[in-house]
Amino acid sequence: MKKLSPVSLPQQGRHAHIVKNAIVPICGWGVIVSLILTGFTNLYSMKYGTHILSFIKHRSDSFHGPVPHKGFQKAPEFYSFGEEYGFQDFPVKRLNEFESSELHNLVMTYIPRRMKKRAKEYIPTLFKFAQKMNVDPLWALSIMWTESHFRPNAKSYVNATGLMQIMPGTVHFLSHKMNRPMGPKLAYKLVRDPVFNMEVGVYYLDYLLKQFDGDYKLATISYNMGPARVRKRLRYGLPVGQKNLYWDKVRRHHNHITRKLNAVLRITPHPYQLTYVSLPKYWPLNHPALKEGRQYDLAERQSPEKRYLKSTQGVF
């Protein structure tokens, strides 16, 4: 019988098998990647209102599609303090004219250097609680400065604790007023939390102010020596706060903060003044809006009417 020789397979079949095994996975991964990119683009468009490609090419003038916008940028925040005047007749409502970050920076410039780092961490939270409870924020800030010098771990010999130096027993009492009743043990534990300490402290200031019919002096002294002792002195006709060092410290700290802040408010026009169209805008000499630094004498700056009459005669 004749022996058969082995027959070799054609080479093109082997190459076709290799190409088939390489192209199929590549196509599969391409579909998966395209689906992922499409889903990410749709999510980005739903969140920010613009297509991802438009955002990537926002610096180019030669692309088509949805126009990118700035809707995703954070809008400036302002406070809304309701009081017209607060502690020592400071115009609290005018603080609403500043952006919250701008107001924080202004206040920080008046805090002593050795306390700036500590105060910077707590001022925004304190101001939010003051806005929520409609309390003069600079009064609350002066109290916190006097009580603890912005030290969250401060503790007095009578067991007053934290930034606002609140007694655990006072926290236990105020928790029922705030409709968040708690036991003495929990009050002792929470009073050491800086945020909770500030919230209860600002609430206590508001409570005392209402107890004494808006009298800031009596409320401030009561925060230090207790409302019962203040009422007792008033009942017997005794003077309150004549030789009270705590009252003097709070006033001094408040004056230190507001002295320069009042100067800024004096050179900042009220919002309604910016709507005048009949007379030219009046700015003081040192107002930052006077970029060219034009010099006017004191009499002209104190009399906008005189300046207006001169401007009509071509003096300016």
- Round the CA-based radius of gyration of the chain to a whole number and report it: 34
Q: What pLDDT does 263 receive?
A: 84
The overall pTM is greater than 0.75: no
Q: What pLDDT does 277 receive?
A: 45
Q: What pLDDT does 169 receive?
A: 92
Sequence-ordered list of residues with C-beta below 8 angstroms from that of 90, at least 6 positions apart, any chain:
136, 138, 254, 258, 262
Nearest to 165 by CA among 129, 214, 198, 128: 198
Per-residue pLDDT of the chain (316 residues; tens, 9 = 90+): 555 555 444 555 555 555 556 565 666 676 677 767 666 556 544 544 444 444 444 444 444 445 555 555 567 889 999 889 999 999 999 999 889 999 999 999 999 999 999 999 999 999 999 999 999 999 999 999 999 999 999 999 888 999 999 999 999 999 999 999 999 899 999 999 999 999 999 999 999 999 999 999 999 999 999 999 999 999 999 989 888 899 999 999 999 999 888 888 888 766 545 554 433 444 444 544 444 433 333 343 444 444 434 444 443 3
The pLDDT tens digits for 158-178 are: 889 999 999 999 999 999 999
Residue 136 · residue 85 · CB < 8 Å? no
CA dist 132 and 195 (Å) reads 14
The pLDDT tens digits for 184-231 are: 899 999 999 999 999 999 999 999 999 999 999 999 999 999 999 999
CATH assignment of 87-266? 1.10.530.10
- Report how far Cα 114 is from the mean position of its chain's Cα atoms: 22
**Token representation of residue 244:** 């009270």
Sequence-ordered list of residues with C-beta below 8 angstroms from that of 292, at least 6 positions apart, any chain:
none
